[in-house]
Amino acid sequence: MNNRLKVLRAERNWSQAELAERLDVSRQAVNAIETGKHDPSLPLAFRIARLFALSIEEIFDDGHR
Amino acid sequence: MNNRLKVLRAERNWSQAELAERLDVSRQAVNAIETGKHDPSLPLAFRIARLFALSIEEIFDDGHR
DNA sequence: ACATAAAGTCAGGAATACCTGACATATGGT
DNA sequence: ACCATATGTCAGGTATTCCTGACTTTATGT
């Protein structure tokens, strides 16, 4: 699952730790998602989308067009 | 996580088993999601949204707003 | 009433998404 | 060069999402 987390974070000058705090997850969880080690749960995907005021589909991409 | 799976399925006259087959998951997985026992993974949420030609947000609702 | 299909549920197990704590490496500022 | 911050990664543990197979309960049709 590809995602635009790193760029969205860079646009706001947030560290992974800052983003993690805003999402109420661990810094490692943010890192793992950014580096593609695993996908967020659906509830977390919702929190991410809401934080950036975007739809889940605008942030995450599972390929299958 | 609330969802409109049951209605979307009813609109198409699909059984849980038929839906499961189209989503390539077990019948029990569909049942568990419909009955709110657990949330789908993000990849599965994408497949569900694509199948019904809707956005994830149009199908699932995590409460917050 | 009866038969079949659909839906719900349980147990046990596999894979994955989270956690904390620790440590290594990289990047940036002074 | 030095120091602080950021990022990446590992281990070990817990919780969740899926699986199969089996069973019960509920709906539907004849």
In chain B, the domains with their CATH numbers are 2-59 (1.10.260.40)
**For the segment A15-59, what is each residue's pLDDT rounded down to a tens digit?**
999 999 999 999 999 999 999 999 999 999 999 999 999 999 999
Please answer whether residues A22 and B24 qualify as being in contact, where contact means their C-beta atoms are separated by less than 8 angstroms.
no
Task: Specify the pLDDT at position B64.
Answer: 86
On the question of pLDDT at B65 being above 80, the answer is: no
- Cβ count within 10 A of residue B15: 11
Q: Determine contact: A50 vs chain B, CB below 8 A.
A: yes
Question: Does at least one atom of strand D sit less than 7 Å from the CB of A34?
Answer: yes
**For the segment B15-54, what is each residue's pLDDT rounded down to a tens digit?**
999 999 999 999 999 999 999 999 999 999 999 999 999 9
Which residues of chain B neighbour A41 with C-beta distances below 8 Å?
Answer: 39, 41-42
Question: Does at least one atom of strand C sit less than 7 Å from the CB of A28?
Answer: yes
Scan for tokens 């009955």, then name that residue.
B35
Residue A28: phi and psi, rounded to 5, are: -65, -35
Task: Specify the pLDDT at position A64.
Answer: 85
